[in-house]
Amino acid sequence: MEFGLFQQQTTSLVMTNELRQAISLLQYSTVDLAAFIEEQALENPLIELKDRSDRVLSEHIRMMREERPEGEGTLDWSQSSPFDYLHVERLNLSDYLIQQARDLPLNKNEFEWLCYFIYSLRDDGYLSRSLHSLQADLGLTDQEAEKTLYHLQHLEPAGIGARSLQECLLLQLQRKKQRDPLAETIVEHYMELLAEKRWKMIADDLQISLADVQRVYDCIQQLDPRPGSQIGGEPTNYLVPDVTIDWVEGELTILLQDDYLPKITLNRQYQTLLTDGEGEAAQYAKEKYHQMQWLVKSIQQRQQTLLKVTEAILRKQRAFFEEKEGALQPLTLREVAEEIGVHESTVSRATTNKYAQTPRGLLELKSFFVSSISSRFGEKGPSSDSVKKLVRKLVEEENKAKPLSDQKIAHLLKDQYNVEASRRVIAKYRDELGIPSSTKRKRYG
């Protein structure tokens, strides 16, 4: 070992800000990308945006006019009501209940006690604290506390102010126009046995048939276990498709939704400064112009990558779009990456938070990548999506009095469809489909 100066040639990857920006843009959805472009326009004075929303609206109006049946005249937009444009404020649960409480014949103290109970509710409508605790806070007698709870539990929706699931269901049954004494009795005294499917004990104790217990169970399934969740909450977030896959003149065609993105143009006020300017101002303008060019290039590259990935998915999953009951074929990120000549991580970013409007509905691009079931010899078998469809079909066609077990479903898949799947795989797919076990699917009438 010795000290000295030596020349050495090495290769290293430098993550520049521009490269980091290009990678980030690839995983943005169309809505996120539009917001990012607007942020860049605020920071870069050379960027001028032209909103395409007017053109999109004009195109939408044109399509509506073309689709309007003959003989009905033209669209009269002057007939639209001003109420269509009012901003709707979503009431939260507390405000909704207090509005009802104001209509009750209560004195000032009773109204304040009821409001205190209302503010003690959870978002799902249940009391967050015990009645004894609320009573101690307000210094109420037992009779006053019970009366306040009575007023609370008689507000809308039914089931509000319950202290347990059992009480919530019972309150809803008691509010029905045609009350069912048997259902109320079972919920009040046999709730645990009903949930555990120990229906024979209920039938023997009440001297009724299993079909009667089944009827009560079906009735309870129609009740709302979380009555407060239907009031207020977050506003609905609508998804904007990034690509559209649709039939055009008998061919499946892919269209990128560029109309939702603002168009980036150069602010003409800085044109002279870029060409003839000198000094720090000109240097600043050229730097911002370079950033604008890189932004435009990154967006174009993102759109091209998204288009290539979608085209590869369409080629692999064509049967899914062409057939009404078509199932997805096994597909991995690596297969698409090798086909279009990019890295697997690029495909992952290009399909993250991206949605496609297809003839089968609005679907996430990630959903087109499905695993397969390997055979005993290590060969690639059918996709998990197709196996799930078969499992659902067998369950729908089964004898409800004698439902199929997971092992029986596995045998039927092998005998009828030549699909080999273990009992554990069937149980996993059944849970993902939201299908209960065979004991919970059994019906008695």
Q: What is the pLDDT of residue 279?
A: 80
User: Residues with Cβ < 8 Å from 378, sequence gap 6 or more?
Assistant: none
Phi, psi (rounded to 5 degrees) for 57: -65, -40
User: In this predicted model, what pLDDT tens digit does every residue of 63-95 receive, in sequence order?
Assistant: 444 444 444 444 444 444 554 444 455 678 899
Give the CA angle between residues 351, 366, 417 to the nearest 5°. Answer: 150
End-to-end CA gap in the chain: 90
User: What is the mean predicted confidence (pLDDT) over 42-50?
Assistant: 88
Q: Residue 18: CA atoms inside 13 Å, Cβ hemisphere, count?
A: 12
In this structure, how many other beta carbons lie within 10 angstroms of the beta carbon of residue 28? 20
Structure-model confidence comparison of residues 3 and 310, the more confident one: 310
Cα(431)–Cα(400) distance, integer angstroms: 18
Ordered alpha helix ranges (H), 207-278: 210-221, 271-276
User: In this predicted model, what pLDDT tens digit does every residue of 184-211 receive, in sequence order?
Assistant: 999 999 999 988 888 899 999 999 998 8
Ordered alpha helix ranges (H), 341-417: 344-351, 384-397, 406-417
Write down the mean pLDDT value for the chain.
Answer: 83
Residue 81: both structure tokens together: 């009501």
User: Residues with Cβ < 8 Å from 155, sequence gap 6 or more?
Assistant: 97, 100, 101, 161
Residue 275 has pLDDT above 80, yes or no: no
Q: What is the pLDDT of residue 90?
A: 62
Residue 64: both structure tokens together: 């509506």
Cα(247)–Cα(251) distance, integer angstroms: 5
Cα(43)–Cα(288) distance, integer angstroms: 9
Cα(103)–Cα(92) distance, integer angstroms: 18
Number of residues assigned to the chain:
445
Domains and CATH numbers, the chain: 14-66+242-370 (no CATH), 93-230 (no CATH), 372-441 (1.10.10.60)
Q: What is the pLDDT of residue 380?
A: 61
Amino acid type, 272: T
Q: What is the pLDDT of residue 410?
A: 87
CB-based burial label for 410 (10 Å; 0-12, 13-18, 19+): buried
User: What is the mean predicted confidence (pLDDT) over 237-256?
Assistant: 86
Cα(165)–Cα(176) distance, integer angstroms: 17
User: H-helix or E-strand containing 243?
Assistant: strand 243-248
Cα(166)–Cα(191) distance, integer angstroms: 7
User: What is the mean predicted confidence (pLDDT) over 244-248?
Assistant: 89
Backbone region of residue 265 per phi and psi (left: phi > 0; alpha: psi in -120 to 50; beta: other values)? beta
Cα(168)–Cα(161) distance, integer angstroms: 8
Cα(314)–Cα(358) distance, integer angstroms: 11
- Tokens 């405000």 found at: 95
User: H-helix or E-strand containing 43?
Assistant: helix 30-43
Cis geometry, peptide bond prior to residue 82 (ω within 30 degrees of 0): no
Q: 261 by DSSP, 3-state: which?
A: coil
Q: What is the pLDDT of residue 3?
A: 73
Q: What is the pLDDT of residue 163?
A: 93
Amino acid type, 38: E
Residue 56 has pLDDT above 70, yes or no: no
User: H-helix or E-strand containing 265?
Assistant: strand 263-266
Q: What is the pLDDT of residue 321?
A: 86
User: What is the mean predicted confidence (pLDDT) over 423-427?
Assistant: 88
Residue 55 has pLDDT above 60, yes or no: no
Strand 355-358, strand 243-248: pairing: parallel
Q: What is the DSSP letter of 364?
A: E
